[in-house]
Amino acid sequence: MRSMKDRLLLVFYHDVILLLLTWHCGGQSQMIGPTQPLVAMTGDDIMLPCQLDPARDAVDLTVEWSRRDLKPRFVHLKRDDAELVTQNTLYSRRTSLSVNKLKCGDISLKLSKVQVSDAGRYNCLVPEIGAETGMELVIGSVSSVVMEIFKVKNEIFFKCKSNGWYPEPRVFWLNSQGNQITAESTNSAKGSDGLYTVSSTVTVNKRQTYSLTCRVQQKNINQTAEAHIHVSEISKHDEDENELHQTEMEEKLQRECEEKKRLEEELENKEEDLKHVRQTIEKLMEQKTFLKNQREKLHKLLQEDKARLKEVMKKEKETPLLDKEKKKSHLEDKKSDLEKRTEVHEELLKMTEKLMEETENIIIQMTKRKGKLEKDKEQIIKHLREK
């Protein structure tokens, strides 16, 4: 494997043809950026290149770095000498622009401590001059490969395992001639950190000599990790010596298989429960929003009712004595209707607020349950990784 500093932190300043991705006219500055995806490994820092051409001082210009798939979409925003305005919390304290580079029209963004969630398409924009470009950032994570051997009767089980990959890698087994051989089983599990754990097993006959390679590969980030093992033919003496352990090993493997099956079934049940809880929370949030809007409408209707009732009472007082008898019946009917209407709206408002309170309590309970299910699921995945 390559060292951390050599693992494809590709910025493409020196080996990629820059593509013009924005309109231009006359002396208008244009934006140039990379034509190929940038690749960074988790934990590393990377520079997202973006340059005005011809170069001009961009210190006083608005600079927007964003991802359209996020809300809020801003990765970094510089406006009126103020930075980080309405920035997405995923990028808090991890982005920066160089003032010295801005003076030369270089508005490249430094992204520190890269995470799996940083993968996506980034947009670089200077609104005042309409200059814009985009680029794709691919995030990778690699790990070493560990190999184990189990001997049962006339067969040898080779198992290789590797934790902490992103994106999801593939596992290959190769013989001494470099030809691919078929695995008995291959498993992949994604952890709560977004990283993948892969494992694979092959079975061979004891009475042969084997040289095997387990290769874990991720082509998107051009990363490969391998483990090699050489096993000579098991002699009769070795077989006799290991005979006492065969039954114990078989029982151990059986227990491991049963435990793994139980964990997988439990994980499936937890995922189903978690899906149901998430759907319930989503529906409750929709109901809460509906009730909130309903409450606002009822508040507005009540204000209108009270205002109209006040107006009717005022007219009743201001009506001249000669006309009072004529209008009395009409005003009283109107006043009575408004009072009944106000009473109904007040009752509906109380019911709405009660429903909102009950909905909020249920959301709190379901959120706690969701947290417990996610924690249980994470523990099950952890146990499965150890198998």
Domain ranges of the chain: 4-140, 146-234, 272-385
How far apart are alpha carbons 47 and 49 in whole angstroms?
6
**Among 221-225, 256-260, 344-348, whose mean pLDDT is lowest?**
256-260
Percent of the chain, pLDDT > 70?
A: 81
HSE, side-chain direction, 13 A CA sphere, residue 251: 5
* 146-234, CATH topology level: Immunoglobulin-like (2.60.40)
pLDDT confidence of residue 25: 34
pLDDT of 242 strictly over 50: yes
How far apart are alpha carbons 17 and 267 in whole angstroms?
48
- Say how many C-beta atoms besides its own lie within 10 A of residue 205's C-beta: 11
Highest mean pLDDT (candidates 30-39, 152-161, 201-210): 30-39
Position 384, amino acid: L
pLDDT of 125 strictly over 90: yes
To 5 degrees, how large is the angle CA 188–CA 193–CA 199? 20
pLDDT confidence of residue 345: 85
To 5 degrees, how large is the angle CA 18–CA 24–CA 26? 120
Percent of the chain, pLDDT > 90?
A: 35
pLDDT confidence of residue 252: 73
- Going by the DSSP 8-state scheme, the letter that residue 234 receives in this structure is P
Position 271, amino acid: E
Q: Please name the residue that has the structure tokens 């770095």.
A: 65
Alpha helices in 204-320 (DSSP H): 236-318
**Among 99-113, 232-246, 371-385, whose mean pLDDT is lowest?**
232-246
pLDDT confidence of residue 216: 95
pLDDT confidence of residue 247: 64
Tens of pLDDT, residue by residue over 289-338, are: 999 898 899 888 888 888 888 887 877 777 665 455 556 667 677 778 88
pLDDT confidence of residue 253: 74
Name the pairing type of β-strands 30-33 and 51-53: antiparallel
Angstrom CA distances, 363 to 60, 367, 376, stand at 46, 6, 20
**With bands split at pLDDT 50, 70 and 90, how would you rate the model's confidence at 133?**
very high
Tokens of 132: 């814009």
User: 4-140 and 146-234: same fold?
Assistant: yes
The rounded radius of gyration (Å) of the Cα atoms in the chain is: 34
pLDDT confidence of residue 319: 66
**With bands split at pLDDT 50, 70 and 90, how would you rate the model's confidence at 260?**
confident
Class of domain 4-140: mainly beta
Taking the complete model, does pTM exceed 0.85, yes or no? Answer: no
